[in-house]
Chains A and B, each alone.
Chain A
Amino acid sequence: MTIKLGVPSKGRLMDKTFDWFEERGLTLKKTGSEREYSGAVEGIDGVELVLLSAGEIPRELTAGRIHLGVTGSDLVREKVPSWETRVTELAGMGFGGADLIIAVPTSWVDVETLDDLDAAAAQFRRTHGYRLRIATKYHRLVREFLREHGVADYQLVDSQGATEGTVRNETAEAVADITSTGETLRANNLKILSDSLVHSSQATLFKSRSADWSNEDRLVLSQLEDLLGI
């Protein structure tokens, strides 16, 4: 038996993941042609590399089809209900960092906190007859955050890309999105609410709780943990 390690199959996230393991004495490699998604792990026996889209790794971990996986901590929280019961965080990897925040137009000089957002939402609904729209692709995270903070009279509208543009296009009044520098937000006349950090995300090595862990697999995992120093 081998344990399956799922890592992002392309881009910066893949490169940084490979670097992170390399620094700890493990070489992850794509095998076959450049376009083929198969891989190998050198430096330890019993670990198989599976290259996957970062967005699919949470699902594969939850289903137990991979034992370990590297993906954004935001994606796991967004896609996996009660994530703590399905996966364990083994290590934050220190890259791919970004904050999920809530931003409103800079012209809303009266709105700086969630408390203000809630009051503005009440006023907006009274004035316009519908709930204030927040564009996001992080529905679960944002909804849970706003419920916990008691913000009402809003609606989430789905935006899978170019979320910052929705306010200018008048398809939303506010946005909840991932940002690392805030530059795109500023360029679109948006500002971050001071207490609206929904989640601080980074690439994270997760362990599946539902995968088949044989005694042999557990042995390999503890060797791997020793190597990685986690």
Chain B
Amino acid sequence: MTGLIQANAEARRIRALFEAQGAQVVETDILQPAETLLDLYGEDIRARAYVTYDGLRGEMMLRPDFTVPVVQWHMETNAEPARYTYSGKVFRMQEDDTSRPNEYVQVGYEVFDGKAPNHADAEVFTLISKALEGLPVRAATGDLGILMAAVRGLSTTDARKAALLRHIWRPRRFRALLDRFGGKTPVPASRTALLASADPFKGIDTSHGVRTRAEVEARIEALREDAAAAPIASEQIALLDEILSLRETSPNVLSHLRDIAVDMPSIGPAVQRFSQRLEALSKAGINVDALDFEGNFGRTTLEYYDGFVFGFYADKRPDLPPVASGGRYDALTHVLGRGRAVPAVGGVIRPELVLALRDTL
């Protein structure tokens, strides 16, 4: 228990830093409606969050993070720009690795400000970096906006781009789709047979089920269009792979991306934003020359980040989860706001890990 008392004291110290930036303190319920989280993160979240149940409200979840309730809070009050801070416990099921805590404190800082997103990105990163000052941590960054812009710029059908964008956060399926659309994986025999069939419904009862015959026909039509479309050129896939495999310091990545943008102009604006963000970070006192960037960063976290992403890792403790992490999640607010999006960026620090690292000093 003394651990928790110290963690809470550390959380208050960090939260005070965030409040000093003008952030409003918010509190959220521990029990969150499960449906919202399931709709957002999918069934996978059941493996990572505690689900509980009561006869009246149905399934509830012990909050696995603050992002969703804070976004909902913001959507209700709707004042912009807004800065929020919070601290409290989150709960994560740990079935594979029991050495990891299943409840721990998070202190967060979230910015809802659409006017200057790059400055908001830099503000969050810098603030968290300051809160961790003196600790042996290394920051890694990424930008899913660049990858998404690259996908949007592929010379292929909108349906294929949508399918790839839908799986940005599932690297394996993303790769499988890319292989299919690039002609690397052959079309399954069942699909060829379906498209060749004059009457695929012959002898089949189609009167049951919620998914109607018209929906099946619509998908067959979509498959037909896909079969008629040319494969995505291998040069374009190679450029995507180049972006995904970037792993250098930020200035080197920037110059590399500018080269790629010559062949892939669609990423131009995203690269421009990246460059402006580096300027903003530099102005805020961050040494961007030493700041690592990874093209693949942020694709497998719980949050659905879609722009700038970052994590702070303990230098000599690769076994520890990130001490702090965060990113931009405009798309998530779009889903939660049912179409009404709010540009948002934020990050969290785990005070227990901060204390553990400070002990090693």
A-to-B contact residues, CB < 8 Å:
81-82, 105-110, 112-113, 115-116, 118-120, 122-124, 127-128, 131-132, 139-140, 143-144, 146-156, 167-168, 170, 173, 189, 194
The 8 Å CB contact of B96, one of A81, A109, A115, A118, is: A81
* Interface bits B206-236 vs A (CB < 8 Å: 1, else 0): 1011110101101110110000000000000
The CA of A120 and the CA of B39, in the complex, are separated in Å by 17
Structural contact, B216 and A173, CB atoms closer than 8 A: no
The CA of A82 and the CA of B100, in the complex, are separated in Å by 14
Structural contact, B211 and A105, CB atoms closer than 8 A: yes
Instruction: Give the residues in chain B near A152, CB-CB below 8 Å.
Output: 42, 166-167, 170, 173
Which of B112-120, B146-154, B187-195, B342-350 lies at the interface with chain A? B187-195
Structural contact, A105 and B208, CB atoms closer than 8 A: yes
Instruction: Give the residues in chain A near B76, CB-CB below 8 Å.
Output: none
Instruction: Give the residues in chain B near A132, CB-CB below 8 Å.
Output: 211
Pairs A–B under 8 Å by Cβ, sample size 14 = A105-B211, A107-B201, A107-B209, A107-B216, A118-B173, A123-B218, A147-B44, A149-B172, A153-B42, A154-B42, A167-B208, A168-B208, A189-B208, A194-B188
* Interface bits B159-172 vs A (CB < 8 Å: 1, else 0): 00001001100101
Which chain A residue shows the least CB distance to B213? A107
The 8 Å CB contact of A131, one of B39, B206, B219, is: B39
Interface SS majority for chain B: helix
Which chain A residue shows the least CB distance to B217? A110
Structural contact, A150 and B190, CB atoms closer than 8 A: no
The minimal Cβ–Cβ distance linking B42 to chain A, given in whole angstroms, is: 6
Which chain A residue shows the least CB distance to B177? A115
Which chain B residue shows the least CB distance to A81? B95
Is there a chain A Cβ closer than 8 Å to B47's Cβ? yes
The 8 Å CB contact of B163, one of A119, A124, A140, A189, is: A119
Complex A-B, nearest 5 residue pairs according to Cβ-Cβ distance, in ascending order: A150-B173, A81-B95, A112-B190, A150-B170, A107-B206
The CA of A105 and the CA of B205, in the complex, are separated in Å by 9
Which chain A residue shows the least CB distance to B200? A109
Number of A-B pairs, beta carbon distance below 8 Å:
106
The CA of A120 and the CA of B222, in the complex, are separated in Å by 11
The CA of A110 and the CA of B220, in the complex, are separated in Å by 6
A109-B200, A140-B47, A147-B47 known, 15 other contacts, Cβ within 8 Å: A105-B208, A107-B205, A107-B209, A112-B190, A123-B219, A131-B39, A139-B46, A149-B173, A150-B172, A150-B174, A155-B43, A156-B43, A168-B208, A189-B208, A194-B188
Instruction: Give the residues in chain B near A156, CB-CB below 8 Å.
Output: 43
Which chain B residue shows the least CB distance to A109? B200
Instruction: Give the residues in chain A near B211, CB-CB below 8 Å.
Output: 105, 108, 120, 124, 132, 173
Which chain A residue shows the least CB distance to B203? A106
Instruction: Give the residues in chain B near A106, CB-CB below 8 Å.
Output: 204-205
Given known A-B contacts A81-B95, A152-B42, A107 and B208 have beta carbons under 8 A apart: yes
Instruction: Give the residues in chain B near A168, CB-CB below 8 Å.
Output: 208-209
Given known A-B contacts A106-B204, A109-B201, A173-B211, A115 and B219 have beta carbons under 8 A apart: no
The CA of A131 and the CA of B219, in the complex, are separated in Å by 17
Is there a chain A Cβ closer than 8 Å to B38's Cβ? yes
Instruction: Give the residues in chain A near B215, CB-CB below 8 Å.
Output: 123-124, 127
The CA of A146 and the CA of B43, in the complex, are separated in Å by 9
